Amino acid sequence: MRNKFTRADSRLFSKGLHTALYEKLGAHPCRSGGKDGVRFAVWAPNAQQVSLISSRNGWDPLVEPMTRGSYGVWEHFSPGMVQGDSYKYVVVGADGVSRYKADPVGFWSELRPSSASIVWPLEGYEWHDEEYLARVRSEDPVAKPMAIYEVHPGSWKKDYRLGPDGFLNYRQLADELSDYVLYMGFTHVELIGICEHPFDGSWGYQVTGYYSPTSRYGTPDDFRYFVDTMHSRGIGVILDWVPAHYPKDNFGLEHFDGTPLYESADPLLAEYPQWGTLAFDHAKPEVRSFLISDAFYWVKEFHVDAIRVDAVAAMLHTNFSRDPWRPNKYGGSENLESIAFLRQLNQSLTEGTGAYMIAEDSSIMQGITAPVSEGGFGFKFKWNLGWMNDTLEYLKLEPIYRGFHHWQLTHTAEYAFTENFILVLSHDEVVHLKHSMVEKLPGSAGDKLAGLKTLYAYQFCCPGKKLLFMGQEFAEEREWSEDRAIDWGFPNDPWHRDVMESLRRMIGIYRSWPCLYSDSSNPVTFEWVNSTDSMRNTVSFIRRNPWNWEGAVLCVFNFSGQAYENYDIGVPVEGWYKRIFSSYDTMPGETKGDEASIPPLVSSPEPCDHYENRITYSLRPYEAVLFALPQIEGQRK
């Protein structure tokens, strides 16, 4: 049995320091007075009365009134209630209005459009990932390869034999998805929409059940099985999480006890008009405790490896999507309370669990991934949205015009090492009439597919970790929709399969060559060979290890539809340059051969670019090609 809410809990809660509220609040099966039942506890400090209504008591608010305890926490033991029973709270607010509320710390929920919470114990699942956790929690993820497959579970695959929505259960999804992730070579999955949400079209970014794995795909234990299975196969699990805002659904957190309890009482800070949602008031220590405990909950109770924090930019500034807006006490737009919350969250979670946080942040705030002890925010990684936006804007242009926008391809290297970045091609870029990834590119169908392969190779060679949204790997042609599965017919087409297999091979190269992932915050790992060949739409650079030139790779990209016979490339040392990857290697009809069968190029002692030596290669249209530098022959890790 989980302990009752005590005075010690009150002190931690009131100071914003509680990291395990889920052990004290919510619904916990237990035995009391010689009877089995469930103990309920909910924070509603300004309520006049709170009652439990449930599937056991006929949803009658007069049957089971709750008792006000320490620090505005209402408690009640309901004999006879068991796992699987549904319930809500009737909260008579400070304004005298009765509100029917789901449990803010409920551990499971009814499937939408129903909205009651469901009793589900925290105990009972037998984990099998101890060795995995011991290993990864002792490693620095910055020093490891990271290729993330971003997944919306409800639309990765569907099986309409399972129900009207076609949702796969977490267990079925675990087995099928882990097979696919292993085949492709991704190191992590990032899950969209796991926290319970009422509207499918929000993709899970408007949450009503912060402690509840969505019932769309099964029970909390089914989700534990999902994580356990991923870990058993060496795959990390990242959870999308939204501590910035929540929807106004009447059964949720909005005016929970008749007052703005979780949101701010200040009308200039209470909402995000752009999204029509309410903003968490991070100035309140109880709200900080609620959110920090929630992060701990997903790590400790579900063993997730990392949490990706959505909408960080919205939390950093009080003027985000607001007009008028409230300046801070110094007259600036920085949201001082939210900044303090993020620093506390990152530091406490990392120190307390060994897990880490990832920031989805479009702001120009500095130090997002710097340690809190050094004045930073303490995130382990930050999404590089600037790289994504600039690279895609460049590639949307016809090649004849790209030369005039070459800076969009090259200037991101200027700040590539200012944070620990993840280069993302995310779900946000293939929705709302932005077109699918392949349909963003100009030209014929062949041009689009060839250009997409080069984009992916470029992504995996540039500094930073990597993320790709599902369906992009085989060049799905439609925009993504949460209402349908991605189109698994495309991998059966040889040209779309070529994109998939080229990416798969590139992921393997990325994971095999440390110079491609040992780069965060270390500019020495990246060196331009030629960044100024704008009118031919080519760029080339060298990736090397931080410690020496052993294991370095020369990366060359042709973003035009033109072939360049006898293309000269400057190289830093003389010797034999072995081709280890070309985006043409997997094409239908291409002569296949292993690396040993491809003759190396020998350098010439002739100046080229800013080097004393050169190699010459016939660069094909839209080709990405990688060469191993001479020092590393036979020494690849």
The answer to whether 91 touches 47, Cβ cutoff 8 Å, is yes
In the chain, residues under CATH classification 2.60.40.10 are 7-118
What long-range pairs does 216-219 form, CB within 8 A, spacing at least 24? 216/111, 216/112, 216/153, 216/154, 216/165, 216/167, 217/153, 217/154, 217/167, 217/168, 217/169, 217/170, 217/173, 218/169, 218/170, 218/171, 219/108, 219/120, 219/170
Q: What's the pLDDT at 546?
A: 83
Nearest to 540 by CA among 551, 550, 553, 549: 553
Determine the topology of domain 7-118 in CATH: Immunoglobulin-like (2.60.40)
Let me know the angle formed at the C-alpha of 500 by 496 and 501, rounded to the nearest 5 degrees: 115
Q: What angle do CA 582, 583, 587 make, to 5 degrees?
A: 115
User: How many Cβ atoms are within 10 Å of 535's Cβ, its own excluded?
Assistant: 12
- Closest residue by Cα to residue 600 from 622, 632, 558: 632
Q: Please name the residues in contact with 491: beta carbons below 8 A apart, sequence gap of 6 or more.
A: 474, 497, 500
Which band of pLDDT confidence, cut at 50, 70 and 90, is reported for residue 521? confident
Predicted confidence at residue 634, as pLDDT, reads: 42
Average pLDDT over residues 138-155: 96
pLDDT-derived band at 591, boundaries 50, 70, 90: low
Label residue 635 by pLDDT band (50, 70, 90): very low
Q: Are 9 and 22 in contact (CB under 8 A)?
A: no
C-alpha distances (whole Å) from 485 to each of 2, 26, 166, 199, 258 are: 40, 35, 9, 17, 41
What single-letter amino acid sits at 335?
Answer: N
Exposed (0-12), middle (13-18) or buried (19+): which is 506, by Cβ within 10 Å?
A: buried
Phi/psi at 595 (5° precision):
-60, -35
Q: Which of 210, 149, 254 is nearest to 26 (CA)?
A: 210
- Residue 519's pLDDT is 82
- pLDDT tens digit string along 94-111? 999 999 999 999 999 999
Q: What percent of the chain has a predicted confidence (pLDDT) above 70?
A: 97
Q: Among the options 360, 473, 476, 609, which is catalytic?
A: 360
pLDDT for residue 1 is more than 60? no
Q: Is the pLDDT of residue 345 over 80?
A: yes
* pLDDT over 90 (residue 636): no
Distances (CA, A) of 483 to 58, 158, 165, 256: 35, 10, 8, 31
pTM across the whole model: 0.95
pLDDT score, position 599: 84
CA distance linking residue 611 with residue 534, whole number of Å:
19
Handedness of CA 160, 166, 172, 173 (dihedral sign): positive
Catalytic site includes residue 360: yes
Buried b (16+ CB within 10 A) or exposed e, 576-598: ebbbbbbbbbbbeeeeeeeeeee
Segments of the chain assigned to CATH 2.60.40.1180: 523-632
Q: How many CB atoms lie within 10 A of CB 524?
A: 11
Q: Which pair of tokens denotes residue 400?
A: 């004849």
pLDDT band (50, 70, 90) for residue 631: low
pLDDT for residue 594: 52
User: On the CB side of 64, how many CA atoms lie within 13 Å of its CA?
Assistant: 25
Q: Residue 597 above 70 pLDDT?
A: no
Four-residue CA torsion sign, 571, 572, 576, 579: negative
Whether the upstream peptide bond of residue 523 has omega within 30° of 0, thus cis, is no
Q: What distance in Å separates the CA atoms of residue 137 and residue 592, rounded to the nearest whole number?
A: 40
Rounded-to-integer distance, Cα 250 and Cα 101, Å: 7
CATH number corresponding to 523-632: 2.60.40.1180
Active-site hit among 310, 361, 473, 585: 310
Q: How confident is the model at residue 520 (pLDDT cuts 50, 70, 90)?
A: confident
Give pLDDT tens digits for 234-262: 999 999 999 999 999 999 999 999 999 99
Mean pLDDT within 188-217: 97
For the CA atoms of the chain, what is the radius of gyration?
Answer: 27
Q: Is 47 left (phi over 0), alpha (psi -120 to 50) or beta?
A: beta
Cα distances from 108 to residues 54, 304, 560, in angstroms, run 14, 17, 52
* Residue 236: predicted pLDDT: 98
- Cα Dmax for the chain: 91
Mean pLDDT of 468-473: 98
In angstroms, the CA 636 to CA 48 distance is: 69
CATH T-level assignment (fold) for domain 145-250+283-407+420-457+465-509? TIM Barrel (3.20.20)
Residue 4 is predicted with a pLDDT of 86
How much is the pLDDT for 590? Answer: 63
Distance, in Å, from the CA atom of 337 to the CA atom of 142, rounded to the nearest integer, reads 28
Task: Pull the structure tokens for residue 134.
Answer: 């011991």
The answer to whether residue 310 is catalytic is yes
Residues of the chain within CATH 3.20.20.80 domain(s) are 145-250+283-407+420-457+465-509
pLDDT for position 632: 46
Percent above pLDDT 90 for the chain: 94
* Cα 287 from Cα 231, distance rounded (Å): 32
Q: When comparing pLDDT for 366 and 590, which is higher? A: 366
Q: How far is CA 243 from CA 26, 67, 210, 341, 431, in A?
A: 19, 30, 9, 10, 23
Query: Angle at the Cα of 474 (from 222 to 591), degrees rounded to 5?
Result: 130
Angle at 243 between CA 99 and CA 282, to 5 degrees: 80
- Of 238, 153, 250, nearest to 485 by C-alpha is 153
Overall average pLDDT of the 577-581 stretch: 96
Mean pLDDT, residues 42-47 taken together = 98
290 pLDDT higher than 60: yes
Q: What is the pLDDT of residue 633?
A: 43
